């Protein structure tokens, strides 16, 4: 067991940005922007579109955007296990193992599951076992972030919308600023991790993407 020498407390602030938006978010976004300018000058431009949007719209609009991005007719999901395994038994095993780690370290997952990205980010800041932290980053967080970013591909967005229209008979419209804005804190987070830890994702067998899992889920509901 070893302990990382990198100060990673600021990752908890990045986790907050991917929680459901609450009052105080604008101040937290300002804090992240200022921190990135000083600590990650090569990364800050990835974050700027999100910063500029959040400071100019209401918290209600941000909440609506979050819900449309991650929950209702979602573009992607923040549940890493679902992204990587769909509803496969491997996700169930992952949740059991993560629940144990959260409980051991005293990390409260709130009303979200153990593989929810903000919960896992908070977990890695609390772990004393650097080997486990590196494993979570390489096998879970980094590949999950890359899949989230891939879900913003215009062709995938088009196909997801087609699935939603077919199933729900209608599509919830995104305001002109909304469609892809949450990809920027996700891209920023991935860039920070790669900068700090020098890691890349572990190559693994092909896993279902969010679109294929979504299509399967919709068929089951029908």
Q: What are the residue ranges spanned by the domains of the chain?
A: 11-221
Task: Identify whether the C-beta of residue 86 lies closer than 8 Å to the C-beta of residue 213.
Answer: yes
Question: Can you read off the two tokens belonging to residue 41?
Answer: 């000058």
Question: Which range is least confidently modeled, 66-75, 126-135, 185-194?
Answer: 66-75
- From 65-69, 91-95, 135-139, 205-209, the region with the lowest mean pLDDT: 205-209
In terms of Cα–Cα distance, which of 73, 11, 1, 24 is closest to 197? 11
Q: 201 falls in which pLDDT band (50, 70, 90)? A: low
Percent of the chain scored above 90 by pLDDT? Answer: 67
CATH class of 11-221: mainly alpha
Nearest to 95 by CA among 76, 71, 79: 79
d(CA 136, CA 141): 6
Under 8 Å between Cβ of 4 and 136: no
Q: Is the pLDDT of residue 191 over 70?
A: yes
Q: Looking at residue 218, what is its pLDDT?
A: 41
CA distance 162 to 15: 31
Lowest mean pLDDT of 49-58, 103-112, 140-149, 155-164, name the range: 155-164
DSSP 8-state class, residue 112:
S
Consecutive H or E run containing 187? helix 183-197
Phi, psi of 79 (to 5 degrees): -85, 100
């Amino acid at each position: 067991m070893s302990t990382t020498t990198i100060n990673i407390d600021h990752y908890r602030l990045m986790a907050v940005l991917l929680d459901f938006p609450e009052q105080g978010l604008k101040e937290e976004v300002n804090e992240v922007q200022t921190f990135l300018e000083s600590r990650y000058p090569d990364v800050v431009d990835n974050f700027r579109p999100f910063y500029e949007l959040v400071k100019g719209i209401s918290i209600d609009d941000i909440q609506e955007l979050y819900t449309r991005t991650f929950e209702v007719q979602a573009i992607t999901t923040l549940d890493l296990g679902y992204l990587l395994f769909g509803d496969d038994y491997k996700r169930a095993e992952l949740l059991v193992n993560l629940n144990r780690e959260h409980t051991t370290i005293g990390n409260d997952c709130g009303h979200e599951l153990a593989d929810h990205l903000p919960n896992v980010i908070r977990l890695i800041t609390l772990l004393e076992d650097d080997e486990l932290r590196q494993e979570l980053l390489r096998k879970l967080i980094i590949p999950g972030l890359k899949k989230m970013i891939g879900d913003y591909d215009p062709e995938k967005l088009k196909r997801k919308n087609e699935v939603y229209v077919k199933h729900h008979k209608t599509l919830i419209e995104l305001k002109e600023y909304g469609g892809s804005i949450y990809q920027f804190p996700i891209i920023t987070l991935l860039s920070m991790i790669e900068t700090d830890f020098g890691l890349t994702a572990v190559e693994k067998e092909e896993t279902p993407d969010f679109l294929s899992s979504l299509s399967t889920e919709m068929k089951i509901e029908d």
